Structure formats: C-alpha cells, structure tokens
Amino acid sequence: MQSYSLLAPAKINLLLEIIGDRPDGFHELVMVLQSVELADRIDIQASDTQEIYLKCDHPEVPEDETNLAYRAAKLMFDTFPEVHANYGGVTIKIKKNIPVAAGLAGGSGNAAAVLVGINLIWKLGLTQPELQDLAAKLGSDIPFCVSGGTAIATGRGEKLASLKNLTDMWVVLAKYDNISVSTPWAYQTYRQEYNDSYISDAEGVKSRTAKVHSSPLLKAIAHKDSAEIGKQIYNDLEKVVLPQYPQVAALKAAFAAQDILGTMMSGSGPTVFALCESESKAIASEQQVRSQIRDPHLKFWITKLSSKGIQVLSSN
Ligand code: C5P
C-alpha cells in the first residue's frame, strides 16, 4: 500500500485585522500569515477498506469526523467518488508537535497535509490552486497551510497572495496548557463590542471606518526590515481576548520588556509569540519570561520563520 510522510508547519499571524462583518456570520479580514518550522508529522497510507481511520498521539485531539484532517479525507472521498472506489480508504497517523487549540493553525495544517497526501496517493495531479479551492471549503486558514511561507490573506482568509519570504527571524511561542480560547467567541465578542466603528453600505454589508494597519507592515516585509516588522505586527482580536484572559496579557507584557523585535498574540490566541533577531535572543527572552512567571502550565517553543507549506518527507 502506498504511503507518504508529510510535515505540516504551524502558522503565526503577523497581522489580523477585522475590516468588516459578512452576512454569512464570518468577518472580512486582512491577515499576514507566516509559517514557522515547528511542524506536525502526518503519515498517510492507502488502506484496503473504504474507510477513514485516524490516530493521533495527543490525548486532546479527536479521532472522529470532528477532526479537520478526517473531514479533509471525507471531502476528497466525496469529490472524487470513483477514484475513492478504485483506491479504497486511508489510514492517517498524526504526530503532534504543534500545541493544540493554540491559534497556530495546527488542525488546519493537518487537514492541508491530508489533501496533499491523498492527491499524491491517488495520483490526481491537482495543482496547488486546485487544492487550495478544496481547502477553503474546510476552513479559512487551510488554503494558506497548503502553500505556507509569508502571505497576505483577505476575504474570509482564503484569498491569498504571496509576499517576500521572511526566514531569518527566530520565534518564541508561549502558551498556557490550561487556557483555551474559543475562536467563534473571540470574533462574536469583537463584533458586539466594536459595532460602533462599522458603517453599513446600501446592501447592509458593514465595513470598518477605522484605519487599516496593513500598509506599514507590508512595506516593512517588502524591505525585509526586521526591526520595522516587529513594530508593525498587529492583531484586532487582542482587544477582546487580553482583557478576558489577564494571564495572556501578562505574558505578552513580560515579553514586551525583553530585547526582542516585537510580541503579539497569534490568531484568536491564547499563544503569544515573540519575534527575535537571533536564536540567542530567543533563548534569552524565553528564559527571562519563564523565570518571571514561574507557572508549570506555561509552555515554550523556540522555532524559526519558514518559507514552506506542506512538505513531503518520504514515500513508500
Ligand atoms: O474558518 P474557520 O473554521 O477556521 O473559522 C473558525 C471560526 O472563526 C468561525 O466559526 C468564525 O466564528 C470565526 N471566523 C470569522 N471570520 C473569519 C474566519 C473565522 O468570524 N473570516
């Protein structure tokens, strides 16, 4: 039976700006998404049943159809029923290195890897844009996870344009393993609390009057100006998540006092990341924050920015 081992990297948001409400309940976003080297490993193999069998080594990750990776396989089965009948089912094994429910698109990356893996096993020859169209049906971050690197995402988050690759910065990721934030809660709370800053057009579509923060960051990325990138990172969801989770706010404040380029919450949190110009500065800031906060629930990862999306490690 043919099998592939794939790497699915985590992502951080260098920018997450909510620029409008959508009638479908989602939000119009401008995001700058960035892959990091920290990655899950996904082994996917053709099986002689017609089923999807999913195993994950992390106790909090579901192994049924509530897992995005499972839904990705189901989407491929439903989209290509004759190929599915011909090749049979798949066995998916996920080795988690990315913290779960963290705002790092771990689940989205696993789903992207399953789309890429089934495309290979079934020899479908789908192009990256074709895979990304399928990915958009599963979730807003999944198209980005297919291609990775540095990209600007608009619409629901699924419309992508590549930016100049940033790779020469280090990142500290920090997350309390006993805090999780519901993404729908974060967006809905933002919608309620910041309703005043919206204006409605004739069709009832609401958009923000507030200033758009993306241009200085995009300029800094074009110039690969790390110091300026560190100053321009931005996330609207901090406005609702940090007041509700004071420990996360204190974690960010602790990083802000270090010799780093910048610090921000990723996605809807609760992971806080610090951008650093070198590995030694990443290690130093991690040690300082760890010794100041001293909480066994607070976990750290040191990684680097990456230019890669889903990668094939090996095939058999
Ligand atoms: O698309 P995804 O499943 O990643 O989105 C998770 C949740 O985040 C959605 O259910 C929605 O509440 C919120 N969301 C949003 N607007 C977006 C993307 C996500 O409101 N553009």
Residues with CB under 6 A from ligand 1: 26-27, 29, 139-141, 156-157, 183-184, 187
Is 78 among the catalytic positions? no
Nearest to 102 by CA among 151, 175, 7: 175
Residue to mutate (ligand 1; options 26, 31, 108, 180; most atoms within 8 A of CB): 26
Is 141 among the catalytic positions? yes
pLDDT tens string for the chain (316 positions)? 899 999 999 999 999 999 988 889 999 999 999 999 999 999 999 999 999 999 999 999 999 999 999 999 999 999 999 999 999 999 999 999 999 999 999 999 999 999 999 999 999 999 999 999 999 999 999 999 999 999 999 999 999 999 999 999 999 999 999 999 999 999 999 999 987 655 566 555 566 555 578 999 999 999 999 999 999 999 999 999 999 999 999 999 999 999 999 999 999 999 999 999 999 999 999 999 999 999 999 999 999 999 999 999 999 9
3-state secondary structure of 102: coil
Q: Determine the distance separating the centroid of ligand 1 and the alpha carbon of 82, expressed in angstroms.
A: 32
Q: Which residues partner with 302 through β-bridges?
A: 172
3-state secondary structure of 83: helix
**Distant-in-sequence, close-in-space partners of 71: CB < 8 Å, separation ≥ 6:** 65, 111, 138
Quote the Cα angle for 11-216-229, to 5°.
45
Atom of ligand 1 nearest to the CA of 108: 4
Per DSSP (E only), the strands in 168-307 are 170-176, 198-200, 206-208, 234-235, 262-265, 272-276, 298-306
Going from N- to C-terminal start, the domains of the chain cover 3-165, 170-306
Please tell us whether the domain made up of 3-165 is placed in CATH 3.30.230.10.
yes
Q: Options 2.60.120.10, 3.20.20.70, 3.30.70.890, 3.40.630.30; which CATH number does 170-306 get? A: 3.30.70.890
Q: Tokens 């700006």 label which residue?
A: 17
**Whose CA is closest to atom 14 on ligand 1?**
26
pLDDT confidence of residue 21: 86
Q: Do domains 3-165 and 170-306 have the same CATH topology?
A: no
